[in-house]
Structure 1
Amino acid sequence: MPLLEAATEWYGQRYGLQLDPACEALTLIGAQEGLGHALMAVADVGDAILMTSVAYPSYFGAVQVAGLVPVYMPLGPDFLPLLDALPEADLARAKVMLLNYPNNPTSAVATTAFFQRAVDLCRQHGILLIHDNPYVDLVFGDEPSPSPLCLPGGRDCVLELFSFAKSFHLGGFRLGFALGNRHAISSLEALKAPLDFNQYKGIMRMGVTCLKLPHEVARRDALVWQRRAAAMVAALKEAGYEASMPVAGMYLWLKLPDGVDDVSFCQRLVAQSGVALSPGQGFGPGGRGYVRVALVQPEEVLATCAAKIIAAMGQA
């Protein structure tokens, strides 16, 4: 309970909504575990799930394990789903909508207006909106990234998942928490009870300490990703590639020249130059023809890598 109390206090301070730690919060063994179990807890085999065709790879496996039928939402140029383009038939048969903003791999960020539209749509059609939010602190601006849970109607239809891996560098300790709709929380808790145990209390105490840290700590780390993104974008532009500066995250999502296979490109690039990128196909069917750059090196290394990436594109 101390971790859940700290989690709801943290959320209330950031978004102005005070949740009940007894029934609107649940400890997770990482957000990835939470999502996998949540899909099994709130939907039945054969139910439809609305999701994006470009997503974190584990989503596709979790959907398959839960026996759900993926319905891919069309994406706009900002990599946000075109909610108003969803057919009524798909909305009628969907039990879950799965979103993730700030996004992996595209680094796209959703607006409050977008999330409000998603909440309204899910309430109207009896859909649970699951928002996977591990990158909540990796925004480059001064304003916090929007959360659908705190919006009007959010409490009725939103389950939001948070992780300590990105904000507080506790990835190997596997700790997270779920906040939101009490019925979804209750179903998830009932499923988890016979399948796993809570984390070791020492790890949960670490989580409490993290949530009580000044926000400037996470903000300082976000600025590291911002500087690296700026360096990589500048180097790409200098080499002749018009990359866009992201507003959050730790990745760049780059479009390859038309007709270039992303898997073959990545294989050739790492063999010839030692630069390893992730092929877009690994992030779903909508990722073909793209590559993801992880900004996990200092600025000077990223600048050198940018020149090698563009040179390889010219050879493709």
Structure 2
Amino acid sequence: MHFAQRIQALEKNVFADMDRAKSQAISKGKKIIDLSLGSSDLPADPEAIATISASLEDPSTYGYLLHHGTLNFRETVGQWYSNRFGVEVDPQREVLTLIGSQEGTAHLPLALLDPGDFALLLDPGYPSHAGGVYLAGGQIYPMPLLAENDFLPVFEDIPSQVLGQAKLMVLSYPHNPTTATASLSFFQEAVNFCRNHGLVLVHDFPYVDIVFEGMTQPPSILQADTQKSLSIEFFTLSKSYNMGGFRIGYAIGNAEIIQALRQVKAVVDFNQYQGILNGAIAALTGEQTTVKKTLARFQSRRDAFIKALNNIGWQVTPPQATMYVWAKLPQTWENKSVEFSTELVAATGVAVSPGAGFGKQGEGYVRFALVHDPHVLELAVEKIAQFLATRT
């Protein structure tokens, strides 16, 4: 049987690889403490749940939902952005409802790239950013994120021959997996760079609210590109409101880019159930209690987990944002992140994400997702310590 060449680049996936390793560990009797997947274990926003529940009693919400039926949600998004970032938004032309932000980042390259065009992606970075480029027949230029550069790309290092064929750049701060943050001045530099080289600037922004005490709130790319001349930003309610399974997000930005993405979306899917959009409106316009509680829980988990790691001699700098810890592997496991992750889950049941799964520059690191309460995280560290003691 013949399959399209475009799917060959999609055969390796960090989450699929770890899922197989977890399944093998379970089959051998291991109880899994899963720190590999950034799926929040916290309860979804109660105002959203109540509104979705009420919608189920309304038969008018049961049909297909076309673009015009999402206007109330898009207006809410526009108002939320204006209040949060001081950016005026046209909900008719500058907002598009998405089935999670991953849908947008994966589909947008189909609207922007011709076969052979380059996309400039962060390395390490989120896998769906690369997947969409491969599906579009594009090429990837990985922009290295190094600790000595605070995990920010150095635009001047991008070769001129690559820039001559490049059509878009993808950024994402606060960053998954490195947890790095970026300033408004960095985004202004990125906007100027993209303008000078004719690039669309894409910003994936799921961790806007997961920023810990002492850190300023992260900027929107639209604060650096106030005219929305070349930028588009993606947001999801998965992290801030613990609504990952509801698959609700949106794109916001340049009207022409939004329209191009809408054209792709129109041949792929309709929108979600109307009740989910009603719930998202309730979440965005509510008291924001869920956001505050979620942030407090992740901060307490971060503190407990970092303390436990440091106590076993694994020194890690506390992340300033996101729901992850990005940790450089002990010297014994240097450049062996996949081996470390698969052997760890087989031996202890503790599952983590190998840094190599996020890109070449991720090798030598692992990512821990803070998706359990402190006592479970501390137990995981105890198991990690026992594993390290037997492998040195």
- How many percent of aligned residue pairs carry the same amino acid? 42
Contact residue 132 and residue 162 of structure 1 kept, 8 A: yes
CA offsets 1:248-304 (integer angstroms, 9 cap, x no match) = 111111111346211111122112222111111221222222111111111122123
**Structure 2 CA distance for aligned equivalents of residues 309 and 279 of structure 1:** 14
Matches within 5 A, 1:181-200: 181-200=254-273
Equivalent residue in structure 2 for 1:92, among 153, 156, 164: 164
1:295 partnered with 2:355:
no
Q: Distance in 2 between matches of 1:54 and 1:140?
A: 22
Shift of 1:213: 1.9
Pair 1:227-2:319 in alignment: no
- Residues 1:178 and 2:178 are matched in the alignment: no
Look up the match of 2:384.
309
Kept in 2: contact 1:262–1:289 (CA 8 A): yes
**One-letter amino acid matched to 2:192:** D
CA distance in 2, matches of 1:212, 1:137: 15
* 1:103 and 2:175 aligned: yes
2:84 is the counterpart of 1:11: no
User: What is the deviation of 1:154?
Assistant: 5.8
For 2:388 and 2:317, locate their aligned partners in 1 and report how far apart those are by CA, in whole Å. Answer: 17
**How many residues are treated as equivalent by the alignment?**
316
Q: Which residue of 2 aligns with 1:131?
A: 203
Q: 2:307 aligned with 1:237, yes or no?
A: no
Deviation track 1:190-233 (CA, whole Å, cap 9, x = no partner) reads 12122211222111111111110234531321121111111111
Runs ≥4 residues deviating over 4 A? none
The TM-score normalised by the length of structure 1 is: 0.95
* Local SS of the residue matching 2:270: coil
Q: Partner letter of residue 197 of structure 2?
A: H
Paired amino acid for 2:88: Q
Between Structure 1 and Structure 2, whose CA radius of gyration is higher?
2
CA distance in 2 between partners of 1:24 and 1:147 (Å): 15
* Unaligned 5+ runs, structure 2: 1-70
Partners in 2 of 1:151 and 1:37 — Cα distance? 24
SS at match of 1:135: coil
SS in 2 for 1:129: strand
1:201 is aligned to: 274
2-side partners of 1:263 and 1:97: how far apart?
28
Matched, 1:279 2:351: no
- Given that 1:123 and 1:153 are in contact with CA atoms closer than 8 Å, whether structure 2 keeps it comes out as no
In structure 2, C-alpha distance between the alignment counterparts of 1:75 and 1:143, rounded to whole Å: 22
Q: Which has the higher contact order (CA 8 A, sep 6+)?
A: 2
Give the Cα–Cα distance (whole angstroms) in 1 for the partners of residues 300 and 164 of structure 2. Answer: 44
Q: What CA RMSD, in Å, does the superposition of the two structures yield over aligned residues?
A: 1.6
Unaligned runs of 5+ in 1: none
Q: 1:73 — aligned with what? A: 143
Q: 1:152 to 1:96 in 2, by over 3 A?
A: closer
Per-residue CA deviations over 1:109-131 (Å, capped at 9, x if unaligned) read 11111111111111111101111
